[in-house]
Homo-oligomer: A and B are copies of this chain.
Amino acid sequence: MRFSLTSPTSTDGVTEQSFTLGEITGVLFTPEGATGPRPLILMGHGGGQHKKAPGVLAGAQRFAAEGGFAVAAVDAPNHGDRPKSERFIQYAGGMRTRIAAGEDPAELVAGMHDLLAGQAVAEWQAVVTAVQELDHVGAGPVGYWGVSMGCGLGMPLLAAEPRIRAAVLGLLGVHGLAETAAQVTVPVRFLVQWDDTRVPREQALALFDALGSTEKTLHANPGDHGGIPAFETGDALRFFARHLA
């Protein structure tokens, strides 16, 4: 696949470069003036979001500026700058209908993640290979950060990809994922929103329970699905620093 990077632009100590790898649209963040190898963090966005969603940018900025990490974020299949398939549009419509009706969308959410996972995993693996060939990224250890759909697509990636050594996951229930979660063995930080109206608490606790990792820590905070407190970004930074440095 052809790998193409735009010229760098820098803000607040972080250099940003958009890239394409075949059909994949992504963005790479590195500390300004970075040279030589460093740990790489992959950031997977939530459903309906994209590679530069606010939650992704907030983490990428701190991971690069304070941690010295390289950070790669891509548009998941059917998201951001990428075309949407008819099948995906069907799932998205079905989920909106269920949520509007006050019904639990877990089954359709899991179905959509199943639809995207095979392609998403292969794409992340290709992205790691491509960006690690850059001089200012290099072949260092790799971490993964992703919640909600970023967790649903991250679990199969972690199960398949031995280059990833630590992950921050969460905001998702166990539906359809128990078997995959059991294959995850790296240290995991798992975020739960205690009053999540989209993910029943018991389902989220059950996904944490299902993780095969010996070191796994659940962090639960009050509030709904989108309300992860900002201090969890600092906690994630120190978690990655501990495991990838």
Give chain A's interface residues, CB within 8 Å of chain B: 192, 194, 208-209, 214-222, 229, 231, 234-235, 238, 242
Bound CA–CA A219/B231 (angstroms):
14
**Cβ A220 vs Cβ B208 within 8 A:** yes
Residue of B nearest to A222 (CB): B216
A59 to chain B: closest CB distance in Å?
17
Q: How far is the CB of A178 from chain B (nearest CB, A)?
A: 16
With a CB–CB cut-off of 8 A, which chain B residues contact A217?
Answer: 219-221, 229
Q: Which of B192, B221, B235 contacts A216 (CB 8 A)?
A: B221
6 closest A-B pairs by beta carbon, nearest first, are A218-B220, A217-B221, A219-B219, A217-B219, A216-B222, A217-B220
Tell me if B221 and A219 are in contact (CB < 8 A): no
Verify B215–A218 contact, CB threshold 8 A: no
Which chain B residues border A208 with CB–CB below 8 Å?
220
CA distance A234 to B221 in the complex (A): 19
